[in-house]
Structures are given as structure tokens and as C-alpha cells.
Amino acid sequence: MASKASFSIIPCVKRKEEKEERKRSFLKNGSILLKDLIASCDGKSHPIRCYSASELIRATNNFDPSCVIDGFHRDMYRGILDDRTVIIKKHYDVDRAIRNIIISMQMSTHKNSLKLLGCCLEFDGPALVFENAGKGLLNNHGSLVVDNELLPWKTRLRIARQLASALTYLHTAFPRPIVHRNLSPTCILLDDDYVPKLFDFSDSITIPPDQLYVQENFAKWTVGYGDPYYQKHYISSEKTDVYSFGVLSLVFLMRRRATYWNEARNVLECLTENPKLNVSDGQIQIETIADSKILKEVGGDEQAQRQLQDFLALALLCIQEKTEARPDMIEVAKELVRIDKSILP
């Protein structure tokens, strides 16, 4: 009888220990979050919901691998909360999680930023709950295939224009510019209408008052998308994001994966040095580099070909090695609006 009584108490002790651990995590993470929220809200209200660990565990069937979103490794999950599909991002670093919460909360008002619904502070690392984006991750290999469908040029151009709008908002809408620092297809989701949603601001940084950049002790970037100036000097500025956006634009146009940090520079050298390419008067034969799907789509339409030329010229301007030669993100966004409207329906 004694052994049975002893055995039956173990689950109760374990549950009590789990509750105590969640309580400690909540207090630790909550205090950090509260401090950063007060510092960042600037008197404005950004209400988000606080979820319990048990809610997220039920929503994802205890974070079952079958709930992992394609392209992520036990990091982003789909689940059901309050009878609707949501995305749950797990964090293993508290500081990065808090930064992501703070900036995601501020960016949630922009239609091209993944809306933050709430967070859970009961795990060792906070978990974030976002709105759903049904089409999932933008393909990192440059193939831009969603549901076995290669995205047409008009959709790619619209995605680029809307992402530029989100980055412009990040750079200009707050008291101090925020630099994403790690822009790549792995932080872009598409909703059911192929609308892009920028997310994951865990590597983002705010430029301090009276400064134009941030000097860091090290640099972090996604392979193929990193600004060479940032990698060399460890200096972050809005132009860091402009460079990464330029590489992303080339991927959209060429359907070619950015495989290493100077991929964009290699493309630029190819475009300007290859005698087979017509580069006189700043013109480049778009047929030599554009995705064959795009070329088939635009056919012999001179206006459409001019649109591709202008898009390429803008991308190349964004990846200039000297940061001062690159445009500001707001200029990029305005030019993309002009390019998009250059062919009326």
C-alpha cells in the first residue's frame, strides 16, 4: 500500500514543479518585457494578449512536428487558438524574443507586417502568437513557387512594392529609425492573397538619437543578402536593409538564388563587363538575365520590357558597394510605385 501511495504522488510533484518553473519564467520574462514596453511605447497603446503555456501546447498538439511550417526547423508552428488558425514562433533567447515582441507590436499596424496577437512568457524563451499567413514562406531558392505555381511577374513586382512599403515604415514611422538587419526570404510570409508579411525583428536594431548608424562588435546576416559594408565595418544603417532589398529584387527578377555574400556584386560585374550584354547608354538586354517565365509573360511588349529594365536598374542601385550611392528606402518605394503604374490595366 505504501508503495502505491508513493507512486501516485510523483505526477502531482512533477506538475507542481512545472507550474513553479512557468511562474519563474513568467516573472523573469515579464519584467524584461514590461521595462522594454515602457521604453518603446512612447505613450501609445499597443494591446496584445498574454497566452498561457497550456493554451499554446493544446493549440500545437504539444508542438508536434506536423505543425511546423515548411521552411522552418522547430521554430514556427501553425495551431488553432480561439477557433482560428495562428502562427506560433518559439524563441530560445530571451533578449531576441523581447526585441521581436516590441518591434512586431509597433509594426502590427502596417498591412505588410505580420500582426502580433500576443505572447506567452511561461516558457524559458517567450513564444509569440501571430496572425496566420496561409501561403507560407517565400521560397529561399529564388524559385518563388507557391502551391506548385511559379509566381507571375505582376505578383512579384507587387510583393516587392509592398515589402518596400513595410521597410520604409520601419525606417521612418517611429521616433528613431529601426533597421531590420536580416532581410531575406526567410522573414517573408505570404497570405492567401499573396500579400507579403514581413516578420521576425529579433535581429533589428534602433539607431540612437543624433546618430546615423550603429557601430557594433560583430555582424550577423543571412548568406547571400548581407551588405558587404556592414560585414566589413560592423556598421548598421538603413542602407543595410536597402542592400538586402536589392539582392531580393534580383532574386525576384532572375529566379536565381543568392548563394553567398557577394552574389549581388558578382551579378553587377557580370552585367557591366560581359560584352554580350548591351550596356550602352545604361541599357541592358533584359533577355540575357531575366527569368524565362517573365520573358514569356511579357512577350514583345515594349512597355513591359521597359518596366523590367527600370526594375533591374533600381535593384542595381540598391546594391552599390558605397552606402552613400544607394537610395533611401522611401525613394525605392516611390520608384516601385512608379514602375508598377507604368503599365496601366
> What's the grid cell of residue 267?
551579378
User: Which residue type, as a one-letter code, is found at position 311?
Assistant: F
Banded model confidence at residue 276, pLDDT cuts 50, 70, 90: very low
Scanning 133-237, the segments in alpha helix (DSSP H) are 153-172, 228-233
**Residues 171-183: tens digit of each pLDDT:** 999 999 999 999 9
Mean pLDDT of 90-111: 90
Among 145-149, 165-169, 257-261, name the one with the lowest average pLDDT: 257-261
Query: Could you give phi then psi for residue 187, rounded to 5 degrees?
Result: -120, 30
**Residues 40-63: tens digit of each pLDDT:** 555 455 678 888 999 999 999 999
**Residues 121-164: tens digit of each pLDDT:** 888 888 999 999 999 888 766 667 666 678 899 999 999 999 99
Banded model confidence at residue 288, pLDDT cuts 50, 70, 90: confident
Banded model confidence at residue 27, pLDDT cuts 50, 70, 90: low
**Cα-trace Rg, the chain:** 23
103 Cβ contact partners less than 8 Å away, ≥ 6 residues apart: 170, 178, 201, 204
| CA quadruple 327, 227, 187, 70: dihedral sign | positive
